[in-house]
Structure 1
Amino acid sequence: MSEPAHTTPAAEGGPVTVSVSRRVNPGREDDYEAWVHGIAAAASEFPGHQGINVLRPSAQTGGRYVLIYRFDSDAHAAAWEASDQRAHWIEKLEGITGDEDERKRVTGLEVWFDLPDVPAAAHAPRYKMALVLIMVVFGLVFPLQVYLGPAMAGFPAWLRSLVIVIIQVLLMTYLVMPRVTALLKPWLFSSR
């Protein structure tokens, strides 16, 4: 089964998230659920695999199943995607799913704008991502410099910068960006 893709260039060594949206033929939902368990088990055997999430048909997914899988690097994701095991499982979809699959692959900074309830075909325009990142990075780095700068006055400049960058990236990844992206979802993913 072919899988058309919206693909962005992958950063070497960066994490990769791929979402695949499929419409399951009526009455074949149990077969698809069994298929998901099988392909998830097969993917988990591959180096760099970081998990699979399944969104079941809803208004947010356009009535489609969305399978989201993650690998720690583009090379590991590519190894899975080119594997005989994956090809075997894709062949098993014959008769279970209907129309063409929709794929979205995000790497690098785009991962910060990835929402599990956004259909696979949707992606935020780069200018909107840039605007949000400028605001968020400034909103984190400035206070970190103001409050941590004096406490680290005796540290070498490179170490002060490293500490601030580590805190900023961790805050963005785990606390700030999931909330900002969810809050701005109507604007980020609109066609305007």
Structure 2
Amino acid sequence: MRVTNKETHWSNHPGDEGPVTVSVSRKVKPGSEAAYEQCVSDLVSAAADFKGHQGATILRPSSATNDEYVIIYRFDNYTNCQGWEQSEVRAQLLKNLEGLVEGEASTQQGTGLEFWFTLPELPAHKPPSPHKMAIVLIGIVYALVLGLNLLLKPLLGPLPSAITILIVVVLQVLLMTYVIMPRVTVLLKHWLFDD
């Protein structure tokens, strides 16, 4: 089950929820920064070997992170994320953090469309409301599909429809994930994340 601020979605099929993004914030004891960074580097390297891993970002302490280290990692679905989080490898590597950190870790997890609405400088934020995500995505998807079809029609015209659609969809998802949504989320952050 995924609970948002206004809706509850039920599913019996793990994997239906789409990508999972997890952020873990920790306060590191003064003088332990180098050892902590080495442990985190080992954790990230180990996670990369697990099925479904889609990358990680490490933020050093700053005012935007409440002077905490933040690790943000992504998996393609909940099941694969759980595979990493419940692994013996991860448990052993986490033991290396003992004595380097203060208090407990703060962990947040997001799934589905929230993946496209992340702000690296604010990793622990609440996701936007579903209707705001829908409004933004409808506008962007429409503009991208229209633009890509007009731009690529002369090149892809002789190809079968199924191949043309596949090419447009692949380009659209890549552009949204790596180019458009990170910029749109920053541009609209005050509207998207206000309560």
Shorter-chain TM range is: 0.7 to 0.9
Task: Determine which of 166, 180, 185 is the counterpart of 2:170.
Answer: 166
Alignment size in residue pairs: 186
1:38 aligned onto 2:42: yes
1:66–1:120 Cα contact (<8 Å) kept: no
2:23–2:73 Cα contact (<8 Å) kept: yes
Cα distance in structure 1, aligned partners of 2:156 and 2:42: 52
In structure 2, the partner of 1:77 is 81
Structure possessing the higher relative contact order (Cα contacts under 8 Å, 6 or more residues apart):
1
Q: TM-score, normalised by structure 1?
A: 0.78
Cα distance in structure 1, aligned partners of 2:149 and 2:54: 33
CA RMSD in angstroms comes to 3.0
5+ residue gaps in structure 2?
A: none
Can you list the C-alpha shifts for 1:58-94, whole angstroms capped at 9, x where unaligned?
1221211101223344332211111112122333333
2:47–2:84 Cα contact (<8 Å) kept: yes
Cα distance in structure 1, aligned partners of 2:161 and 2:35: 58
Alpha-carbon distance, 1:150 to partner: 6.7
Same amino acid, percent of matched pairs? 47
Aligned ranges for residues 166-185 of structure 1 at < 5 Å? Answer: 166-185=170-189
With over 3 angstroms needed to count, the CA separation of the structure-2 counterparts of 1:131 and 1:91, relative to structure 1, is same
1:22 aligned onto 2:26: yes
2:72–2:123 Cα contact (<8 Å) kept: no
5+ residue gaps in structure 1?
A: 1-5
1:122–1:189 Cα contact (<8 Å) kept: yes
Cα distance in structure 1, aligned partners of 2:66 and 2:149: 44
With over 3 angstroms needed to count, the CA separation of the structure-2 counterparts of 1:50 and 1:146, relative to structure 1, is closer
Cα distance in structure 2, aligned partners of 1:157 and 1:43: 39
Can you list the C-alpha shifts for 1:17-58, whole angstroms capped at 9, x where unaligned?
321111223333233223212322332343333433210011
